[in-house]
Structure 1
Amino acid sequence: MTCPHAAPRGEHIVRDEGAQLDFSGDMSYGDYLQLDRILNAQKPLSPDHNELLFIVQHQTSELWMKLMLHELGAAVGAVARDQLQPAFKMLARVSKIMEQLVHAWDVLATMTPPEYSAIRPYLGHSSGFQSWQYRCIEFSLGNKNAAMLQPHAHRPDLLATVEAAWRAPGLYDEALRLLARRGIAVPASHLERDWTQPYTPDAAVEQAWLTVYRDPQRHWDLYQLGEELTDLEDAFRLWRFRHLTTVERVIGFKRGTGGTGGVSYLRRMLDTELFPELWALRTQL
């Protein structure tokens, strides 16, 4: 029996009276997203089947980091202008991006050691360690290290961008300056300092945050800011841990292609705290 409304055999078009089907003189989905450029940007160097996974994993991560930098930069500016509601939305989005990046490791973890070994000789010294976007994210979150400028010295344009992030106050710096503007005692050493230096925890800064956390109703937006920052670092820690376990699973304890110690380097990064007083104060509450 044939359904009277069935499409002719071989025809699977879902008909919609309002649908536009001819884009010969208009912008299409692929045009808007520049899909020709994006989908032709994967150029495997090895004959191995698994290299495409490795490339797509890292390219998509860089796209997410581009969005993360977009949101982080806007959030830092919003906090500096006391515009906390927009900042909260941006920081929540950054945390969600970090969750996306955490799950991306699940896909790369399907690459086995022999599969990675087949493509590793073709990578040369290229490494995620050299990602200028990732470095800008680290700098924006306060993990400053002048030595990390050197991998970008061969590209003056990128070096200028990374160096600007290195010299600028980070997200946490602006949060502390906001606390001070709200009349909460923050030591002068943490309000105007050399922003290129790593952040140093201070007991007086912990007391400043404790003022907020012991009376959240009075300081509700500052309390919410503290929790948004904690959410962000929580997600960032998960990303670092998942990075470590994936690398150990795929290459063991070999040195990284960029010259780092690989797993040993990533283990050290797990100990880096971005917003230390926000974690320390929990013991006092």
Structure 2
Amino acid sequence: MPATPAPTLGDTTAATDETTPKVDFAAATTPYAAYAGIDTLHALLNPLSKEPAETTFIVATQVMELLFGLVRHEWTLAQQALRDNDLPTAVAALRRGLHAQDVLVNSWDLLASMTPVEFNSFRPVLGEASGFQSYMFLHLEFMIGNKHERLLRLYAGNPDVHAELRRTLEAPSLYDDAVAYVERCGVDVSSPVAAWLSVYNDPEQRDLCELAELLMDVAERVTRWRQRHLASVKRCMGAKPGTGGSSGLSWLRHAAEQDVFPDLWAVRDAL
């Protein structure tokens, strides 16, 4: 006898048993959509042009914004754990953040195939909008020590966001909290490079060495993201000025060349 085809999710004639997902809900939306705000999420996708590639551009931007928020969440947990002398919790948060950073870097793949013609066809609808204006991105920049007070002016008209950004600007960076933790572990940090050198050369400081390497993982991923940003802009729009008023490629190239946590890079020369 021929085999009986297995029932599919859309087969309403299939017999209901304990392995069949529930499909009847009284509410206007499913529990899945309600929990994750799916209806709201999809309603946020509103292209302003007829260029199909604009949809990809918007999705990539929104995905990155969500990931910026996730990375900030993990780094904030890591900083608080370091202040509480809870290294295992800090390490776990940093590791989760690394996975989010990896997805952030790979998010540029969504834009990798966009041609200059496609981008230029909807670029006018961006007006002065630029990813540089992302307040969640600014939080991350401040958290890694790339602090510039003048950037707060971007949100002078939004007191809540402005105040939150100022708190991040004035608070210790992720690296500052790591160095403070190392000092509380008995290491002389009057010269940070020398302090990290002693950590790497001391077999008894494996936990601190792991922390240093995790910070290097964070730094390397930030640089990868910047490099992919530079490459994507160069491919899509060349050396034109940025929509937000920046010089475009030269500004992005300068950012990509800056080391994150330079002390940890410098210690490599001394090891």
Q: Would the TM-score normalized by the shorter structure come out above 0.5?
A: yes
Q: Which runs of 5+ in 1 are unaligned?
A: 188-203
Distance apart, 1:11 and its partner CA: 3.3
Distance apart, 1:7 and its partner CA: 5.6
1:20 and 2:22 aligned:
yes
What is the SS of the residue equivalent to 2:268? Answer: helix
Partners of 2:148 and 2:112 lie apart in 1 by: 29
In the other structure, the counterpart of 2:121 is 118
- 1:55-103, CA deviations, whole angstroms, 9 ceiling, x for partnerless residues? 1000011011111111111111111111111111111111111111111
- 1:34-54, CA deviations, whole angstroms, 9 ceiling, x for partnerless residues? 111000101111121111111
C-alpha distance 7-185 of structure 1, shift in aligned 2 (>3 A): closer
1:36 and 2:43 aligned:
no
- 1:129-168, CA deviations, whole angstroms, 9 ceiling, x for partnerless residues? 0000000001011111112111121211111111111010
Aligned partners of 2:222 and 2:260 also within 8 Å: no
- Moved segments of 4+, more than 6 Å: none
Partners of 2:144 and 2:34 lie apart in 1 by: 35
Equivalent AA in structure 1 for residue 18 of structure 2 = E
In the other structure, the counterpart of 2:193 is 206
C-alpha distance 181-4 of structure 1, shift in aligned 2 (>3 A): closer
In the other structure, the counterpart of 2:214 is 228
Partners of 1:2 and 1:182 lie apart in 2 by: 71
Taking structure 2 as the reference length, what is the TM-score of the superposition?
Answer: 0.93
Q: How many correspondences in the alignment? A: 267
Partners of 1:47 and 1:275 lie apart in 2 by: 43
1:109 is matched with which residue: 101, 104, 112?
Answer: 112
Q: Structure 1 residues 248-257 or 156-165, which shifts more?
A: 156-165
Taking structure 1 as the reference length, what is the TM-score of the superposition?
Answer: 0.88
In the other structure, the counterpart of 1:200 is none
- 1:249-285, CA deviations, whole angstroms, 9 ceiling, x for partnerless residues? 0000001100011111011102222211111111211
Equivalent AA in structure 1 for residue 103 of structure 2 = Q
Task: State how 1:1-285 maps to structure 2 within 5 Å.
Answer: 3-4=3-4, 11=11, 16-18=17-19, 19-25=21-27, 28-187=31-190, 204-215=191-202, 217-285=203-271
Equivalent AA in structure 1 for residue 201 of structure 2 = R
